[in-house]
Amino acid sequence: MTENDAREEERPAQGQDEHTETSEDRTEREAPREDGEQVGTGIETAGTGVPDAVIPELVIISGMSGAGRSTAAKCLEDLGWFVVDNLPPALIPTMVELGARSQGNVARIAVVVDVRGRRFFDNLRESLADLESKGVTRRIVFLESSDEALVRRFESVRRPHPLQGDGRIVDGIDAERELLRELRGDADLVIDTSSLNVHELRAKMDAQFAGDEEPELRATVMSFGFKYGLPVDADLVVDMRFLPNPHWVPELRPFTGLNEEVSAYVFNQPGAKEFLDRYAELLQLIAAGYRREGKRYVTIAVGCTGGKHRSVATAEKLAARLASQGVETVLVHRDMGRE
């Protein structure tokens, strides 16, 4: 959901008559109810900015440049959080109110606040106080790292520190530490990434924010034809050309792997069903490893010669098997109908 989406919900439906507000309308709108809520304010209630029932969960991600803020943000995004990068701190309360108006569609918001917003950073404490006065609970995640690790990371990508100016990288790091000192002291969670790789940082974020649920894995199963080239985004490739080609069966040639007769022909071949069963078991093992390594998406490419018969039939069966195991699965037939 974007700010434009939230504003769109507040506009009158197209075709409704416009109404000019009179003093009587204004008096009625502003008259307080017995429960303290003002009519027409949308989300305002007495004592709080948003009702408890719709207040989004808020996490603020900050820390040293090069310490892994982007990785932490992407991890939360994969866990279903609505993530906003480099939002000026003064707009955080507005973001929370927009989330509250989404009727539960934006229940968890993560905001990345960093030193790139220099002139806005001083507003952060004021925004946090504003949120606290409205009953909004928030957590601050601070990404820390040693000077040596930060220098090494900036040198490896050959980019200057955002605060170094005409000085050295270490000068920028020192300036940033001083700027963030107070925020670090207020942090609910400090993660030192000096000796962590990307996967280990993801694992720490999962441990804090995934709850008891195992991080979700999403799979795309794609049939394709080898004669049209391998899918460039394939993580795993399955070659079904070890089975007889239905193309050479005249009564099956016009059909695709979506046809029941074609599918039956493919899986009645020796080794076809056994292959599907064993490969599905192998995917369970691979999926567990992907989750441990923080990988959230996998593309499984299933190929045959033309991407019409064997690959389509196998992709259909494999996708159904994955879905039955609780894996969110998207099925794509890239080259079907291309010939």
192: its two tokens: 């030192």
CB-CB contact of 314 with 266 (8 Å):
yes
Q: Which of 45, 52, 134 is nearest to 93 (CA)?
A: 134
Residue 32 lies in a domain: no
Q: What gap in Å lies between CA 41 and CA 88, rounded to an integer?
A: 25
pTM summary value: 0.56
Tokens of 153: 């990371």
In a shared domain, residues 82 and 203:
yes
**Does residue 55 lie within any of the structural domains?**
yes
Angle made by CA atoms 135, 71, 330, in degrees to the nearest 5: 95
Query: Residue 121's CB: how many other CB atoms inside 10 A?
Result: 18
Same domain, 55 and 200: yes
Q: Which residues contact 273 (CB under 8 A, 6 or more apart)?
A: 267
Counted domains in the chain? 2
pLDDT digits 0-9 by tens, 87-140: 888 889 988 988 888 877 888 999 998 765 456 666 788 888 888 888 888 889
Would 21 be classed as within a structural domain?
no
The more confidently predicted of residues 270 and 337 is: 270
**Range(s) of the domain holding residue 154:** 3-14+46-209
Contact 240, 302 (CB under 8 A): yes
- Answer yes or no: do 9 and 124 share one domain: yes
Q: Considering only 80-89, 203-212, 317-326, which range has the smallest mean pLDDT?
A: 203-212
Q: Which residue has the tokens 């707009």?
A: 91
> CA quadruple 233, 235, 241, 243: dihedral positive or negative?
negative
Average pLDDT of span 207-220: 73
Identify the CA nearest to 310 among candidates 251, 248, 220, 218: 248
DSSP 194: T
Residue 26 to residues 10, 44, 49, 200, 304, Cα–Cα distance (Å): 18, 16, 21, 56, 69
Question: Is pLDDT above 60 for 154?
Answer: yes
Share of the chain above pLDDT 70, in %: 80
**Which tens digits make up the pLDDT trace of 57-93?**
899 999 999 999 999 999 999 888 999 988 888 889 9
Q: DSSP letter at 108?
A: E
295 and 151, same structural domain? no
Contact between 5 and 82 under an 8 Å Cβ cutoff? The reply is no
Q: Is the pLDDT of residue 8 over 90?
A: no
Structure tokens at 70: 């982007």
What does the alpha-carbon distance between residue 308 and residue 336 come to, in Å, rounded to a whole number?
5
Pick the residue with more confidence: 201 or 339? 201
What pLDDT score does 126 carry?
A: 84
Please indicate, yes or no, whether residues 192 and 327 belong to a single structural domain of this protein.
no
Whether 307 is in a domain gets the answer: yes
Residue 18 clears pLDDT 90, i.e. is over it:
no
Same domain flag for 198 and 253: no
Q: Specify whether the CB–CB gap between 204 and 292 falls below 8 A.
A: no
Whose CA is closest to 221, among 125, 138, 301, 162?
A: 301
Domain finish residue from 162, 179, 209: 209
The pLDDT of residue 2? 37
Here the CATH number for the domain that contains residue 139 is: 3.40.50.300
